[in-house]
Amino acid sequence: MKVVIEEPNLLPHAELLESLLPADVELSWHRRFDEDALVADLADADVHVGGRMTPRMARAGRQLRLVHTGGAGTDKVSFADLAPATQVANTFHHEDSIAEYIVSSAVMLRRGLIRQDAALRTGVWASSVYSDRISQPRSVRGAMVGYVGFGHIGRRTADLFGALGARGCAVTGSGRVGDDTGLDWHADVSDLGRLMKESDVVVLSAPLTDRTAGMIGAPELAGLGADGILVNVGRGPLVVEQDLYLALRDGVIGGAAIDVWYRYPQGGDRAEPSDLPFHELPNVLMTPHTSGVTRETFVGRVHDIADNITRLVQGRPLERVVWPRR
């Protein structure tokens, strides 16, 4: 069985992956995304591991039995071009790392630590202790955290916020969140406006679809208010780009942690994340889609991927299959 791997985050764990697979599995590693090279390599491949499956790649891989993403997202997989027999599976293990990111960034923004850091680098002690023009910041104890999407990430984040004394509410596509969440309330997305108005911190972890693109715009941001914090770990286009920039620039909301963007590198490590100058704003934590990037995340994913490839070799049902839909 031939497995083509184009997932740079798995490279540090290549030895572990190889040790978990049956001896007759052949691995073909690609250290960077090169569509032409991948198209050629996929012609006789059984499995592709990676976050992108372009139309050309899908049409080239007519023998593919499995496309396994290196993470949860499948929005870069060209499902329509896959052979009918190809299954698509994903993997998670990022919820702990992303929850840490969400809670820590929310505390930094709510406490004004980014502004304080910038000021102290210029010799200014930006604290109510030294200036009566600065108000005392708020902790997260007693704060309402609103979750737009409440899957693996939302549930784990709510656990951490709950340990700090925060409350929670959520909206999801179906209105369901499961049992024992500890939330004050939950509903479907028709109550998004209510969630924005009642929340001190809003966490976006919903998937990007035709229905969710642009779901947060100027009216929703105005509802969050001048003290509100937005944390986006879902996808950039969940929020209207121009509306978010203006809300941050004009103080419509208090701040934002943005880990997912509107522009990404197409090769190498250089790209402006937006056409708008978010980097000039003092109330934004900007990170390059790294909220879930920890060693622990990818060790867990390697085990999931190896397990599914082994299942395929042995003719057993796969886990976490997202296509064909069941």
CATH at residue 10:
3.40.50.720
Chain centre to alpha carbon of residue 92:
10
Q: Which residues contact 214 (CB under 8 A, 6 or more apart)?
A: 237, 238, 239, 240
Structural domain tally of the chain? Answer: 2
Same domain, 257 and 113: yes
Sheet holding 87-89, edge to edge: 26-29, 2-6, 47-50, 66-68, 87-89, 321-323
CB atoms within 10 A of CB 281: 14
Same domain, 71 and 88: yes
Q: What is d(CA 259, CA 53) in angstroms, rounded to the nearest whole number? A: 23
Same domain, 300 and 282: no
Cβ–Cβ < 8 Å for 135, 266: no
Cβ–Cβ < 8 Å for 238, 215: yes
The owner of tokens 């293990």 is: 93
| H or E element in which residue 19 lies | helix 14-20
Give me the pLDDT at residue 75, please: 87
DSSP 137: P
Q: What is d(CA 193, CA 137) in angstroms, rounded to the nearest whole number? A: 25
Same domain, 312 and 176: no
The token pair that represents 165 in the structure block: 């004394």
Q: What is d(CA 326, CA 323) in angstroms, rounded to the nearest whole number? A: 8
Same domain, 24 and 60: yes
The region that residue 258 occupies, defined by phi over 0 for left and psi between -120 and 50 for alpha, beta otherwise, is beta
Give Cα separations from 81 to 47, 51, 77, 141 (angstroms): 15, 16, 9, 49
Same domain, 58 and 102: no
CB atoms within 10 A of CB 300: 18
The owner of tokens 């693996």 is: 152
Cβ–Cβ < 8 Å for 145, 183: no
Cβ–Cβ < 8 Å for 145, 201: yes
Same domain, 86 and 180: no
Same domain, 84 and 106: no
Give me the pLDDT at residue 266, please: 87
Give me the pLDDT at residue 276, please: 98
Same domain, 125 and 160: yes
Residue span of the structural domain in which 141 resides: 95-286
Same domain, 103 and 44: no
Cβ–Cβ < 8 Å for 262, 271: no
pLDDT tens digit at each of 326 positions of the chain: 999 999 999 999 999 999 999 999 999 999 999 999 999 999 999 999 999 999 999 999 999 999 999 999 898 999 999 999 999 999 999 999 999 999 999 999 999 999 999 999 999 999 999 999 999 999 999 999 999 999 999 999 999 999 999 999 999 999 999 888 999 999 999 999 999 999 999 999 999 999 999 999 999 999 999 999 999 999 999 999 999 999 999 999 999 999 999 999 988 899 999 999 999 999 999 999 999 999 999 999 999 999 999 999 999 999 999 999 86
CB atoms within 10 A of CB 280: 9
The token pair that represents 164 in the structure block: 């700090």
Give Cα separations from 142 to 109, 177, 182, 200, 323 (angstroms): 16, 22, 14, 10, 41
Q: Which of 208, 267, 270, 215 minimizes the C-alpha distance to 244? A: 215
Same domain, 140 and 246: yes
Residue 169: beta bridge partners? 146, 185
Same domain, 89 and 99: no
HSE-CB of 81 using CA atoms within 13 angstroms = 13
